Each structure stands twice: as structure tokens, then as C-alpha cells.
Structure 1
Amino acid sequence: MTLAGKQQEREAKLPQQRWQIASPKVEQVGHVAQCTGLFPLLAQVLVNQGIVTSEMAQAYLEPESLSLPDPVEEFPDLTMSLELLEDAIATQKEIIICGDYDADGMTSTALLLRALGALGGQVNYAIPSRMSEGYGINERIVDDCAADGVKLILTVDNGIAAPKPVAKARELGIDVIITDHHELPPELPPANAILNPKLIRMDSPYQGLAGVGVAYILAVSLAKKMEKSQALIAPLLELFTLGTIADLAPLVGVNRRWLQRGLKLLPHSKLAGVQALIQVAGCNDPSQQKTLKPEAIGFRLGPRINAVGRIADPQTVIELLTTDDRATALDRAMQCEQANRERQRLCTEIEQSAIELVEGLQSGDRPQQQRVLVLVEPSWHHGVIGIVASRLVERYGVPVFLGTYEDEARTHIRGSARGIPEFDVFAALQYCEDLLGRFGGHRAAGGFSMQVDQLEFLRSRLSQFAHEELQPHHLKPLVQIDAQANFSQINWDLFYQIDRLHPCGIGNREPVFWTPQVRVLEQRQVGADKTHLKLTLAQVEASNPEERVIKQVMAWRWGEYYPLPDWIDVAYRLRENNWRGEQTLELELLGARVSRVPPPERCEEPEALLSRPAEAQAVEDADKEAEEDCPQPLQEPTLICAEPSKPLPLPSWDSLETLESLQVEGNLLVYGDQRPYISRQQIKGGIEYDRPTQPCQTLLLWTLPPSVVHLKWLLALGRPQRVYIHGKLPRETEVTALRSHLKYELIKSMGNRVNLLELGQKWWVSPSVLVAIMRELGYTCPSFPKTGDLEQELKQLEQWYRSSARQVAQQI
């Protein structure tokens, strides 16, 4: 296959996404940037959300500046709920909290157990069995409560769609308070009081509360009414924060306000369970001790809580979040960790099984034709099919309904559904109401149960609903993009400003940028199963086509699209990567498409800024084709490895342990493999990276250059007065890839000039290593001094990279 054919094959493998790029609004962006001090890129993010005035921007950036209405005025049944609870506490009536087995339900249960217990209540809890009973309060729980003499049931994160169990409880003389946030059914259950944000005015700041948010309002209102709130609010706020983010609640209104407080509390939590959970999840990094970001909860803490409810006993999480004993807390946290690992294994197996089922469908039954995907398999674990459904939505771009059998006789199916922005899952389930037993949820997700003999009718009905609601152009995974950015704009200063937009999540997306025409310099599959991609991308500077800006990129779950085309447009968000105590700024890839504009001719090949070789196999393939095109004997090339002619400066040399100890005078040049970006707040002068364009007073060598000659050029061009050596080692040299790269370069040179300094910088090896390889290949390289074999030269290179500041100074 030719190179052009391989490129076309790569382009065909890219995910078929639809990019929704916000239109630039220059005048509004300029106004918001001026009144907030935000970079225009981030001002565009606010304008995209409809934040166009200084008042709106202040309310968004400083939510504490707004006064909140009293919850009693917003929730009609809150007064009745407080009276019932206060009476139950005063008369020592037993209160049962009926919770749920997801993160929202379990944190809500723990929150009210702590609150009501601290206020003197006789309180216990009941959670239905996911496998045998399904979601929410049921008649079995009501019967058990009646038999135990319970006089008050308090539901959390459920109950709004359970009229029969609630009616039975009332008939048995049990009072019922429902706290929930799910969609309202046509007829509300006959509870004494119902607290649900769906029942309050649409413009209320309490509109976006999750179940744990409603529980938090109830607990705090009761504590204030009983004048016992002082020591209670902080731990409740931590549980509110965990549950709200883990449940993917919209981070707007009071959620945004209270989460800003809660995220600051979590790293210093007084709750033994939260401390233990942070420890086992690896979120206790010193760099995160000021505040946790929502992704730490969404991707680290939340899944460990959720995993227990999905495949284990929810009691584990309830005990974790209510115990004050550190040993018990650590034991329960480890159980959460084990459950999460098992959950990951099950998800991977079920996802692969589902993909195989889809690939085996007839063309007319494919998701794009049906506009919805409905799959049922007996071996799938009900507790994790919701997660898999979300992954399949990302993969196929259609609403997904997955089910499994809930009894050995295979007469009943229980399922989970996930939608796309244009598809209302709850409305779809209502459309199929006559085919279902129970169902519930909201616009984005839902759950259902049904008789097996209704499956084909359900599949047909859902496809009919999807054809009415969706157009063909909707059926691709959506990438929502805020603004176009150049790589030169992506730096630590921008990253730190994004903190002002936090907490980000549903309803307040993290900023997503896109950059056109970037070159894939390096790509490799990573992870145990090569599930992910690690990329090195470069963008040409428009003002100076000779210069490139390099970015490291992580593409989670993109391994199947390997290898990517050489030139692509990319959509991404910024991420801080903490590895062994070192912080680097990288991009998280969200979207990629073939560049619509041809790349600049003068940038056809990767240049000398690349610090590692491109992926070995791709180079070997190019190598073979080049050999087919150039079978003639190769001539000895002219080797370029000149030292600077002008005298070098005599700087002071110092070792640098941490960035905090860096003392900068004047301009700073930062150089090295995977070198960090330095905040401009740390220095008074200017900052340059990699190549000096003007004299610099201070040079920071994150890693040493590939050779003494490289270092001399840095000194000659930068003229530093002080040099810091951090001493970090570059990434390990991949010898096979290096040979293939160099062989390809030699074939291209056709006996002409080969710049050893440029290639050494590109691959982060010394000229001596390159010449050792050339001599292995049969070149004599008469103009270059004698070298050892490749193994010896690589050992000398490693010794060089480990040199101290004193040893380096002696060689200059």
C-alpha cells in the first residue's frame, strides 16, 4: 500500500463526530474580558453560556455575592416536613430513611443519618436490593416498617414515582416525606410532604438540586430551626459535594455556590470515611491540598462509591460515610476500591460484548438506521449496564437502551437507558408506558423493567419515537466547542484562570477548545490493553512558520483509532498531569477530524523541536517504501555538528530541587524534555521556551540537552548569567524506533547534508549515538571522531543526563 493509501485508511478510522463550534462574538467577548480580567478565550466561554453583562459575570464568578431566598419560601412542603421531623425527634418516634443504591442515594442517606442522629432522632435506614427489587421504596419496605412500629418514612433520591408503596404506608398509619429530584409522574404519590425541585418555580436557584441537595436543604433547615447547626453544616456540606458531583447534577445555582465551599473542605475533611476514600483513591496529593476539583470526585471518588451500589452491598458506603472510627473507615474504603476494580472489569467485558452484537447486526438493524440501539443479554450485570450504555452513546451517537434478565426463568427484563442531547429518555419511556412495568428517570438517563415478550414491541416503539425526534445529522457523537485557540495560547496562565470558572460539570461545562492543522509528530498506544493514545502534536506559528508549538496530548479510549492521520484538527480541554511530584500541562483529546485546509508546504516533515521519535512501526513502514523508491547505493552524507564560534558566557551553575526554589532575575528561558510551563506570577521578566530569541538572564534546564554541543548553542544564543539544572531524566530511548527514524532520514538525504544537532534535538540523543548507528549501518562518517558501539554511546548519554551542575560546568 502506498503512503497516500495508508493516509486514507487512517482518515477512515477516525470517529465520525459532529462538531458544534460556538460562533465568535467579538464585541460581547471584549466587554466580558474587560470587566472580569479573563483572557478572551475564557470570556468567550462565558458569552457562550449567555453571560454577557458585568452583573451576570459577577454573579457567575462570585456566587457568594448573591443573596439566596429562604428555602421555606421556595419549597411549599418544607414547613410540613420540618414539623413532622421535629415532632418525631421530640417524641422519639423511629424514623426510617429509605435510600437508593447509587452515589446520590447513598450520600443522601448518610447525610440524613448523620444530621438526624446529631439532632437527637431515633433513625435507621433501608435500601432496596438492586438485583431482586430494583429502584426506590417498595411495599416490602413499607411492610417491614409497619411491623417494626415505624411512624415516619423519609425517602431520599426516590419516591416520586412510587404511588402504591406510599399509599400503603399512609393506610398503615405511617407518615411519609418524599425528597426526590426525578421527573414528576402524571399523578403525585399521597405523601404528607414532597420536596422536589421539579415542583418549584423554574427560575429558582434551587432548581438543579440532586437528591443529596434536597436532603441537605432539609437537614440544614431542621438544624437551624432547632438552633443546632453550628457544628453540623461542614460535614453535611462535604457529603452534599460528593453526591452532587457523582450524580452529574447541573453545577449551576446553589449547586455552584455550595460546591465551591465543599471542594475546599474535602482535602481537610474531619469525616473519617472521606479521609479514607481520598487516601485509597490517590487524591491526597500535596498539590491538591488547597481544594479538590470536580474531576477528582467525578473520576476518582464517585466511581468507588457508585461501584458498591452497583455490584456490592450499599451498607458498605453508608458505614463508610457515617463512621467516626478510622480503622472501620479504611476497611470500608478498601472494600469500595475492590468493588470498583470489579466494576471496571465487568464494564470492559460487557462493552466488548455489546460492540460484537452491534457489529453482527444486519444493515437495516444497525443503530444509524434504527436511530436507537436496544440490546438485551442474559449474562450482563444489571448494576453496570448504565455505564456501558453511556460508552455506547459516545461510540455510536444514538440513544442506547441496554437490558438483562432479572430472574432465572428469563421472563422479566430490567434495563438502563442513556440519551443524546436531542433525545428525551424519560419522554421515550413514557411513549412506551403500556409496554413497561416500571420506569423512571429524566431527560438524559432512565431505568425500566418489562416482560420479555414485550421486547420486540419496545424496540419497534423506541425506533418510531426516535425517528420522530431525531434527524440523521443528530446521529453522530457530539463535541461541543467553545472557541478556537492556538497552541501558543495554551499555557499555565490560561489553566489557572480556568479555576475561576470552577466547579465545572453538567450545566457548566469545562472549556473546550479546538486547533486546526496540527501535525501528529508522535503517537503510541498505552495502557494494559493499548486502550488509550499518547500523542505529541505540533502547530505552526502563523507569525513565524519556522517555529512550532508542541503539546503533549492524552486520548482516553482512543486506542482503536490508532494510527491517526498525519494532519488533523483537534478538540480538547486542559488537564494538569501530576506524575511523581512533577506537574505538567497536557491536553485531553475529545475530538479529531481530518484537516480541511492543506498543511503548509514548508512544514511537511517534523522538525527539531520534537523530543521523542514518532511511533516505530509507522516509521518502519515508511522506511520500506522509501527503500523501494530509492534502491540505489547510498552515498556518505555531509554531517553537520558545528560548535558556536563566538565566546561563551561564564554563568553561575546551580542545582534546582523544586520550582519553588527557583530565583529568576530578568528574562527566563525554560528548556528540557517534558519541561513545565512557569506561571508568570513567579517571575518579573519575560519567559521563553526551548529556543532563545533574545538574551536571557536565567536558564532553567529541566533536563540537560542531548549533548555538550547542544548546551553550548543554548549558552551562545541565550547568554544567561545563571543556569539551573533540575536533573530530570528524559524519556528512555527506544532503540528500534531510533534506528528506523535515522535510516529513513538518511534515505531521504540521498547523500546530502544530515544535521546531527537537529536530529539529536528531535529524538533527544547525542550526535555520537546517531553516528554509532550510522556506522552500524555501514557508513564510515570520516569527518566525525571515533565512537564506541551503540550500547556504549547510550551508556555515556545516560551518564551525561545524570551529571551534576558542577560536572556540567567543567565540560563547558
Structure 2
Amino acid sequence: MPIGLSSMLPKQRWRIAQEDPVQARQLAEAFGLSPLIAQVLINRGLTTCELAEHFLAPESWVLPSAGEAFDQLPRALDLLAQAIESGTAIAICGDYDCDGMTSTALLLRAVRSLGGHIEYAIPSRLQEGYGINLRIVEAFYERGIGLILTVDNGICAYAPIARAVELGMGVIITDHHDLPERLPPADAILNPKMIPRTSPYAALAGVGVAYVLAGELARRLGRTGLADCLLELFTLGTVADLAPLVGVNRAWVLSGLAKIPGSSNTGVQALLAASGLAGRSDLKPEAIGFALGPRINAVGRIGDPVTVIELLTTDDPAVAAERAAECELANQHRQALCAQIEAEAARMLEVEQAGGLDLGCERVIVLAREGWHHGVIGIVASRLKDRHGAPVFIAAIEGEHARGSARGTPEFHVYEALKDSAELLTGFGGHPMAGGFSLLAANLPAFRERLVQFARARLAPEQVAPLVEVDAQVQLARVDRRLLGEIDRLQPCGLGNAEPVFWVAGARVVEQKAMGKTRTHLNLTVSDGTAERRAVGWRMAEWLPLPPFVDIAFQVKENNWQGHSKVELELVGLRAAHPAPIELPEPPPLDRPIRWHDHRHCEAAAFLHAFVAAQASPVLLYGHARPQLPRGLPVHYDRPQPAHDYEHLLLWSLPPSPLHLRWLIAATRPNCVHLFAQAVPTAHAWTLQRHLRATYLPERPVEILRLAQLWWVSPRALCEALVEAGYLADWRSVVADEWHDWLGAELAGLAAWYASPVEVLEALLAPQPTLKR
């Protein structure tokens, strides 16, 4: 790619954490970490040894009992134990996302193993929407159900719960969604939103509440080992629902990830095989987030949740394999639908922007269209939000009605935005970062206008851009297996404990290309002067071509491909950067006349020894491969000593450039300069570029004079080497002279400089006329 070619990189907001090197060093020494990873702990709020120890060794926690956290848990246990002992029919009302389906499967397994009679129902996503409803309550009553359990729903279902109580059924609500102003009249409610935020149970997802209930019920009935076989379902649902991996979630998910590869759950094993993860022993949350969770969620979005419930509750390998294959097909269909809807939504947005839509002014994206599958538009909303950094509300129009999904940004509260438009909606729910809604299609224009007003009141224009949160700066040479191993000590990573994001300033783009079947992904090789590394940017190929230098923000990943493993970068942020500035200071002016003595025709070594031995005060001997005189002679070498004026400067060879000579004369302040002009071997271009690759750091100024002296080349040769190596885009705009020779010609021309006659040097150092006003 030609140097200086510009490209359209995305507008991003980078928020780089403030470094605390003193505290980082203390934590690093206490726990055997590098200061880099200790800084990540500090960024997560783990600023004391006690907090860091709990984080790094969650298995050592002594947790408070769940009964202390959930004050209505004893009542729920009483109801369930009585129902099991009396043979009362129990029914679960679940949900069609991964959290709801794993919660349903978990309690089905638990209650059945404890001898209870239990069945379940999940509302139709397409026909009924989210949560328990009057139809389900009436159906349960007609089937003789005596106790209803809701999982991952129910907290807002006042009317259906009231109807169940009216019909004489007991109701236990297990949910984790935000509390409404009026709670349903259930017999017991278990919801982490009802306990203090400081509790280790406060971040539980729906499946977490179900896991607590099942575990405590097993203990009540003397089956203490039951919770262990349910841990994998808890882990699947917790990670897939993006529950914060803090508190008990962190401890239990860490144990659950270790159990999943050898799971005794036939359905989990079939799901691992279908997703290509069978045999992997080092699963991380991303394996669930990108492989297992989407296959479960796909069924809930576009298929029948019964498929997943049967998958996770069966003990028949043939049934499990068949259901896992159905999940795989549903996921492939979901991917195709997402790609189609995303492309259509992107085109709609482009048309609106071409027609004058300014996201900096509107500050929210609102899109709606007939024919979209509302089961997958939430995924599309997430992608648009990630791409544009704006809140997204996207709806599928179905006749006179519309149903939608919303995704928020850190400064935009989705649920509050929906509440602000409540009179325009027929239903809504959610939390700060996501939500769902329904309304009459005729209300869409008014809904959009209300959202724009809400967004303008809460978002500044500069906040409408993707946010890249960065933990620390690092050199690419540090990105290796040792760093990857330290990052593993932070696992499980997810919401509430994000994977560390590092950054490199001014990385040189060595190679760039698109990759993947659809050529939508970015494949880079980057260098920062300490090392080269491969970097992958998912869905970033549209930003090609990149400028010669970029700041990169990335996570560190292990790439396993065809039996080979290597460490690489996974890009999360890119922005244009500039190479390091050139430091080329001008020397101070000369303030005294100089007498030149040309000794190029004498026996240099013998004359030098005799001349120096005859001096009363030290002389300065300078030059390439200059001789070392016997001890005791009055001579200093190479560098003038501070506050010392020299009568004689002896140039065994000329400096690398006229600029170096002027600096040397200004610093030495000699009365006489003796020129021996010994030959200096000319550096090879490849050697010079090898030196640069070993020393160039883009975030630091390039000390032209020092490096040119070190390698004995002229500043111009060094600048041209920087250009040819790709480190500089246009050094001629930095350095004043109109230099235009290529590196080879410049290096060859150094021989003529080293042989310059005294007259040339005198002219070079002659005082320059000053301009007068």
C-alpha cells in the first residue's frame, strides 16, 4: 500500500485506564503476577490484597448461606417439599432464551430426581411473547397443577399470578429482572433484585436463582450431591445470559467450566459434539458465548423450545444427538436470517443518512420493517449498536402491530427510555442495556420522536461512538504465552470481569488483507519495533485499506488450527496514528574562530601519540575506531566533559554528518581542530534496517543524532532507512532540507564526506549572516 494513503477508520471513543504503578507493583509482588496484569486487577476495582485474593482464588471463599440472602427461600422450600411428599403436581413456566430454557431443564431434573411430579410450559415467542400469561395459568389449572414455579420470568406478571392464586394454586416466582412498582401476590418470590447489591448472590441470572432453589431443596430432602450434576446447566445459562461473572457467579462458573467437558449430562455431551468442542478440556466462557449458547438460543428464537428441554433432560444418547442436530440446523437458519436482516437494516440506515440523518444529532437508531423475524432482531440490534456506538431500537412489523428489541450504550438506559414512552407501547420490559417492546405500527413515528428526545437529553454528540475500554499499554514483545497464562488466572471473563484489553501506539501495518468466506474479516500483521504479531479483526475488513500506522486495542487469544497453536491479537479497536516524532535539534552557534590543521598526509598514529604527549591540558580525541592511547596521557575520548573547554580537538575521522560536526565543535569549543580523516566503512542498507527493527519504538521520539552517531551514518541516511522500512510516512515534511536521494546513494555518498578537504569544513562552520528587521 502506498505510504500516506488515507482510509476511513471508524469513529471510536477510547477510554484508557489510569495507571497506578506503585499499587500494581505491590499486588504483583504479593500474588506472583506481572505489573501489567496487576494493573488489570486494579482496573477491576481489586485494589487490596484481600479483594485480589478472593478474586484469584474464589474456591477459598466462605459464602453466606442462600437462606440469609433470600428471606423467602424457606417458604419456597416448604411448598416444594410438601408438594413432592404429597404427590402434588408441579409445573414450571419457563422462557424461550438460553437462561429460561436451562432454568427449566435444571428444575425439571432436580424435582424429578427428588421424586416430584413435574411438567412445564413455555409461552410461544411468536404468538404470546415473554412470560407467564393467563392462558398458561388456565391450562395448568385444567391439568390439575397444584404448584406453579416460574423461572426467569413472573416478576411483572401480576394478573396471571393473581389468577393462579384465585384458582387455589401455589406460586413460587424465581426471576432476576427489575422489580415492578407492585409485586405479584405469589406465595414466595426469589429475585436477586430484592437483596442488597453487596451480596455475593446479587448478580445471579434466572438459572442462578433456580440453581440455588434446587440445591437448597436437595439439602432439605437429604440429597446433598444433586447440585453438582446441575452445575453445568447453571454455567451454560449464566454465561449465555451475560450475567456478571462476579460473586457466586464467578466461583460457580469457574467450577462449572471444568465439569462441562466431562459432563454426565447426555445432552451437554451431544451439544459439545455438534459444536466441535468435544474433547476440549480448557473451555472458557467464550466457548459458551460463541458456540454452545447460540445453538440453544437459536431454537428459542426461531424454533420450538421443547427441543432444548428434551436435549438437556434426556438420558438417551440417540435422542440427545437428534436434538443437538436440530439445534445446529436452527443456528444455521438463525445465522442466515441475521445476515439478511442486518444487511437490510444497514442499507436502510445508509439511505436515511444519505437523506440527512445525523446520528450525532439524533443520537439513537430506530428501524422497523415488515418481514423481519422478530426472534433474531435483537442480535441485529446488538451488531448495529457495536458498529455505530448508538442505542438501537429495531422492530418487526406484523400487520397492525410491531414487536422489537433494544440495545443500549453505557450512558443510555434502555428500560428508562421504554418507560418514558410507555403510553405509546402495548408492552415492554428490560434492563439498562437491553429490552423488548411491542406497539401498534401506527405509533412507530411517535415512538421514534420520543426516543430521539430522550436520547438528546441524555447523550452528548461525542458519546455516539463505539466505546473501547483499554486496560494498559504493552509492547508486542510482551504478548506471548507467558502473558496468555497470566490472563488465564483472571478467568472466567465476561460481563463484570471483561477480558483484558491492551493497546499499542503507532503500530506499523506490515501486511493487511481481508479473510473468511465472505471476506468480511481483517487479517493484519503489525509491528511496534519490538516484535511482529498477527492480528484478527472480526467484521472489520470494510476498513481496508488501513493507514501505514495505527493504534490498536486488542485482546490476547490462543489460536488452535490443525494441531498448531499460536498467540495472536483479536482487535477490538483501531484508530489512525502517527509515527514517532523525529528529534533533530539544531546546534548552538559558534562564538570563536577556529584554526584548522590537516594531518592527512602524515603518519597518523605516531604523530598522534607525540602530539598528545606534549600537551599540558587534555585534548579531545574523537572518531570511528580511534586508537586508545597509553594511560597517563592528557586525553579525553569521544564525549566532551562538562564545563571543559578544549584547546585542541583531534578528529581521527569526521563525524557521520556536517550536523554532527557542528554539534561537536559547539560542545568542545576548541581553538584548533586537527583533521586526520581516517576512512570509515560505509554501512549497508540491510544492516541499517536490521538495527532499526531492533530498536524502533513508535511511542518514543526517534533520536536521530544519537542513533546516527551510534551506527555512524548521516541523519538523512537514517531517515531514508526509516522510510524504506515503512516506519515513516513522509520524513521530508519533518526535516527541513529538500532531501531526495535514495538510501543507497546517500550511504555511498558518505565516503565523499569523510574525505572532505579542510576548505569545505571551514565553509560549513563559517558564521551565517543574521537577518535584521
In the alignment, the residues of structure 1 paired with residue 64 and residue 743 of structure 2 have an alpha-carbon distance, to the nearest angstrom, of 79
Aligned twin of 2:666: none
In the alignment, the residues of structure 2 paired with residue 600 and residue 573 of structure 1 have an alpha-carbon distance, to the nearest angstrom, of 30
Encode CA deviations 1:216-269: one digit per residue, 9 max, x unaligned.
000000000101122x22221000000000000000000001011101101111
- For the Cα contact (< 8 Å) 1:397–1:420, is it kept in 2? yes
Structure 1 position 94, deviation (Å): 1.1
Q: Go from structure 1 to structure 2 and tell me whether the alpha carbon gap of 1:641 and 1:573 turns closer, same or farther (over 3 Å shift).
A: closer
Is residue 523 from structure 1 mapped to residue 512 from structure 2 by the alignment?
yes
TM-score, length basis structure 2? 0.75
SS at match of 1:564: coil
Alignment of 1:127-276 (within 5 A): 127-230=122-225, 232-276=226-270
Aligned twin of 2:119: 124
Structure 1 position 453, deviation (Å): 1.9
Aligned twin of 2:67: 72
SS at match of 2:14: strand
Is residue 468 from structure 1 mapped to residue 462 from structure 2 by the alignment?
no
Encode CA deviations 1:144-164: one digit per residue, 9 max, x unaligned.
111111111100001111111
For 1:321, the aligned partner's letter is: L
Structure 1 position 472, deviation (Å): 1.2
For 2:297, the aligned partner's letter is: N
Alignment of 1:318-397 (within 5 A): 318-361=309-352, 364-397=356-389
Structure 1 position 598, deviation (Å): 4.0
In the alignment, the residues of structure 1 paired with residue 47 and residue 110 of structure 2 have an alpha-carbon distance, to the nearest angstrom, of 40
TM-score, length basis structure 1? 0.71
SS at match of 1:360: helix
Aligned twin of 2:612: none
Aligned twin of 1:784: none
Among 401, 423, 430, the residue aligned to 1:441: 430
Encode CA deviations 1:633-672: one digit per residue, 9 max, x unaligned.
xxxxxxx999xxxxxxxxxxxxxxxxxxxxxxxxxxxxxx
SS at match of 1:587: strand
In the alignment, the residues of structure 2 paired with residue 181 and residue 369 of structure 1 have an alpha-carbon distance, to the nearest angstrom, of 35
Q: Go from structure 1 to structure 2 and tell me whether the alpha carbon gap of 1:77 and 1:364 turns closer, same or farther (over 3 Å shift).
A: farther
In the alignment, the residues of structure 2 paired with residue 344 and residue 210 of structure 1 have an alpha-carbon distance, to the nearest angstrom, of 25
Encode CA deviations 1:466-500: one digit per residue, 9 max, x unaligned.
11111112110000000000001111001001111
For 1:96, the aligned partner's letter is: A
SS at match of 1:534: strand
Encode CA deviations 1:779-812: one digit per residue, 9 max, x unaligned.
xxxxxxxxxxxxxxxxxxxxxxxxxxxxxxxxxx
For 2:214, the aligned partner's letter is: A
What is the root-mean-square deviation in Å for CA atoms of aligned residues?
2.4
Q: Go from structure 1 to structure 2 and tell me whether the alpha carbon gap of 1:751 and 1:103 turns closer, same or farther (over 3 Å shift).
A: closer
For 1:325, the aligned partner's letter is: D
Is residue 534 from structure 1 mapped to residue 523 from structure 2 by the alignment?
yes
Structure 1 position 411, deviation (Å): 1.1
For 1:329, the aligned partner's letter is: A
Alignment of 1:780-799 (within 5 A): none
SS at match of 1:178: strand
Q: Number of aligned residue pairs: give it.
A: 599
Q: Go from structure 1 to structure 2 and tell me whether the alpha carbon gap of 1:750 and 1:53 turns closer, same or farther (over 3 Å shift).
A: closer
Is residue 42 from structure 1 mapped to residue 37 from structure 2 by the alignment?
yes
Structure 1 position 750, deviation (Å): 8.3
Query: Please, which runs of 5 or more residues in structure 1 have no aligned partner?
Result: 541-547, 603-639, 643-689, 692-747, 754-812
Alignment of 1:448-597 (within 5 A): 448-540=437-529, 548-597=530-579
For 2:147, the aligned partner's letter is: L
In the alignment, the residues of structure 1 paired with residue 217 and residue 12 of structure 2 have an alpha-carbon distance, to the nearest angstrom, of 49
- For the Cα contact (< 8 Å) 1:276–1:329, is it kept in 2? yes
Encode CA deviations 1:717-767: one digit per residue, 9 max, x unaligned.
xxxxxxxxxxxxxxxxxxxxxxxxxxxxxxx998969xxxxxxxxxxxxxx
In the alignment, the residues of structure 1 paired with residue 557 and residue 583 of structure 2 have an alpha-carbon distance, to the nearest angstrom, of 32
Among 91, 99, 107, the residue aligned to 1:104: 99
Aligned twin of 2:52: 57
Structure 1 position 365, deviation (Å): 3.4
Structure 1 position 77, deviation (Å): 1.1
- For the Cα contact (< 8 Å) 1:411–1:452, is it kept in 2? yes
User: Does 165-174 or 126-135 show the bigger shift?
Assistant: 165-174
Q: Go from structure 1 to structure 2 and tell me whether the alpha carbon gap of 1:550 and 1:87 turns closer, same or farther (over 3 Å shift).
A: same
Structure 1 position 367, deviation (Å): 3.0
Q: Go from structure 1 to structure 2 and tell me whether the alpha carbon gap of 1:443 and 1:750 turns closer, same or farther (over 3 Å shift).
A: closer
SS at match of 1:529: coil
Among 275, 284, 290, the residue aligned to 1:281: 275
- For the Cα contact (< 8 Å) 1:364–1:370, is it kept in 2? no
- For the Cα contact (< 8 Å) 1:574–1:587, is it kept in 2? yes
User: Does 121-130 or 455-464 show the bigger shift?
Assistant: 455-464
In the alignment, the residues of structure 2 paired with residue 549 and residue 327 of structure 1 have an alpha-carbon distance, to the nearest angstrom, of 51
Structure 1: 4+ residue segments shifted above 6 A: 599-602, 748-753
Structure 1 position 430, deviation (Å): 1.1
In the alignment, the residues of structure 2 paired with residue 123 and residue 472 of structure 1 have an alpha-carbon distance, to the nearest angstrom, of 53
Among 282, 286, 296, the residue aligned to 1:295: 286
In the alignment, the residues of structure 2 paired with residue 172 and residue 450 of structure 1 have an alpha-carbon distance, to the nearest angstrom, of 31
In the alignment, the residues of structure 2 paired with residue 599 and residue 258 of structure 1 have an alpha-carbon distance, to the nearest angstrom, of 50
SS at match of 2:149: strand
Aligned twin of 1:605: none
In the alignment, the residues of structure 1 paired with residue 479 and residue 149 of structure 2 have an alpha-carbon distance, to the nearest angstrom, of 49
- For the Cα contact (< 8 Å) 1:567–1:599, is it kept in 2? no
Alignment of 1:593-604 (within 5 A): 593-598=575-580
Aligned twin of 1:610: none
Structure 1 position 601, deviation (Å): 10
In the alignment, the residues of structure 2 paired with residue 136 and residue 163 of structure 1 have an alpha-carbon distance, to the nearest angstrom, of 11
In the alignment, the residues of structure 1 paired with residue 548 and residue 102 of structure 2 have an alpha-carbon distance, to the nearest angstrom, of 47
Is residue 400 from structure 1 mapped to residue 392 from structure 2 by the alignment?
yes
In the alignment, the residues of structure 2 paired with residue 364 and residue 349 of structure 1 have an alpha-carbon distance, to the nearest angstrom, of 25
Aligned twin of 1:307: 298
Q: Go from structure 1 to structure 2 and tell me whether the alpha carbon gap of 1:475 and 1:750 turns closer, same or farther (over 3 Å shift).
A: closer
Q: Go from structure 1 to structure 2 and tell me whether the alpha carbon gap of 1:381 and 1:109 turns closer, same or farther (over 3 Å shift).
A: same
In the alignment, the residues of structure 1 paired with residue 535 and residue 64 of structure 2 have an alpha-carbon distance, to the nearest angstrom, of 44
In the alignment, the residues of structure 2 paired with residue 14 and residue 751 of structure 1 have an alpha-carbon distance, to the nearest angstrom, of 32
Query: Please, which runs of 5 or more residues in structure 2 have no aligned partner?
Result: 585-683, 687-692, 695-739, 746-773
**Bigger radius of gyration:** 2
Percent identity over the alignment is 53
In the alignment, the residues of structure 2 paired with residue 601 and residue 587 of structure 1 have an alpha-carbon distance, to the nearest angstrom, of 31
SS at match of 1:377: strand
For 2:5, the aligned partner's letter is: Q
Structure 1 position 600, deviation (Å): 6.8
Encode CA deviations 1:593-613: one digit per residue, 9 max, x unaligned.
1114547799xxxxxxxxxxx
